[in-house]
Structure 1
Amino acid sequence: MKQIITQIKSEGPEQTWAAAATLMESLEPGTVIALHGELGAGKTCFIQGLAAAMGITDPITSPTYTLIGEYEGRMKLNHIDLYRLANSVEALGIGLEEYLESDGITAIEWAERAEEILPESMLHVSIEKGRDEMYRQIEIWREVVCES
């Protein structure tokens, strides 16, 4: 069952960064975040906001071709982009499981390409484009298991 943590309307990158910074305040070491959204939705922008909140000053770009970016701040940030991968087997081939066990924050764009191997406890951030070029609807949620 989907448990919505918060929904945010962003009017531009600054508000997306602020939403990420607010989320960062509640994250613990070892958190895995799955980011969902179409190309250009703002997944990397959200991760840039996380990085800034972690004190990371390096430029954060989408690792579409390098697949993984690692950054040091108050906590380590692992930025992973699975766009070019077809499935979980390929994700295992790049060493994804090592990052899932990291004591930093692991943010994964296109996480659905490896969902079979991702932890059930991960956070999800869905970003949808809205009524104009700058507007985004951001939803932060997690799956919860209902016990009967």
Structure 2
Amino acid sequence: MIRIITESTEQTERLGKLIGSLLNSGDIICLDGDLGAGKTTLTKSIVKGLGVDEYVTSPTFTIVNEYEGKVHVNHFDVYRISDVDEMYDIGYDEYMDSESVNIIEWSSIIKEILPEDRIEINIERLEKDNKRKFNINSIGERYKDLVEELKKYEDTSNRKFL
């Protein structure tokens, strides 16, 4: 696991664009953190890093929004899911088996059905301002290179993401 600290919304957006630029077809990003931690801000930036020019909104009530960029992107917000069976009702298996990049906000709610290979990002608010800590973990072998690339930006000796 690596840890990256951002001190502003702009730094968080740069981190998201960097992550997006490193993703490939079929990649799965799982985001967790408290309300207001920055999951949607990070998602919007990841999607921009994937070349999407559309306005990105959180699909809180629709569960999934789809976007076209250098690859197809599915953006899930499962905050309102009460049972994992609801995910299967919207075609969850087809989404996960596709060549799309899948970004899942509140992924811990559906942890039992998440694919074995994924990137997990837990976001914490550190202070009242826009300072955030991103704990990034590669689950499975698929994302080791991506996480290695992000290690260049890891918070060591109080070095912050630029």
Moved over 3 A (4+): none
5+ residue gaps, structure 1, are none
Per the alignment, residue 64 of structure 1 pairs with 60
Cα deviation for residue 132 of structure 1 reads 2.1
Question: Contact 2:125 / 2:132 at 8 angstroms: preserved in 1?
Answer: yes
Question: Contact 1:127 / 1:137 at 8 angstroms: preserved in 2?
Answer: yes
Write the letter of the residue equivalent to 1:116.
E
Distance in 1, matches of 2:136 and 2:18, equals 11
2:60 counterpart SS class: coil
Give CA deviations for 1:73-102 in whole Å, capped at 9, x if unaligned: 011111001000023212112211111112
Per the alignment, residue 102 of structure 2 pairs with 106
Cα deviation for residue 138 of structure 1 reads 0.8
Cα deviation for residue 131 of structure 1 reads 1.6
Give CA deviations for 1:29-66 in whole Å, capped at 9, x if unaligned: 10111100111111010111111111111111110011
5+ residue gaps, structure 2, are 142-162
Task: Choose from 113, 116, 121 the match for 2:117.
Answer: 121
Distance in 2, matches of 1:75 and 1:86, equals 30
Are 1:39 and 2:49 matched, yes or no?
Answer: no
Cα deviation for residue 24 of structure 1 reads 2.3
Cα deviation for residue 121 of structure 1 reads 0.5
Q: What TM-score do you get using the length of structure 2 for normalisation?
A: 0.81
Are 1:11 and 2:7 matched, yes or no?
Answer: yes
Distance in 2, matches of 1:119 and 1:20, equals 22
1:25 counterpart SS class: helix
More helix by percentage: 2
1:30 counterpart SS class: coil
Distance in 1, matches of 2:121 and 2:80, equals 20
Counting aligned pairs with the same residue, the percent is 35
Cα deviation for residue 144 of structure 1 reads 4.7
Moved more, 16-25 or 120-129: 16-25
Per the alignment, residue 137 of structure 2 pairs with 141
Distance in 1, matches of 2:21 and 2:135, equals 17
Question: Contact 1:69 / 1:79 at 8 angstroms: preserved in 2?
Answer: yes
Cα RMSD of the aligned pairs, angstroms, is: 1.5
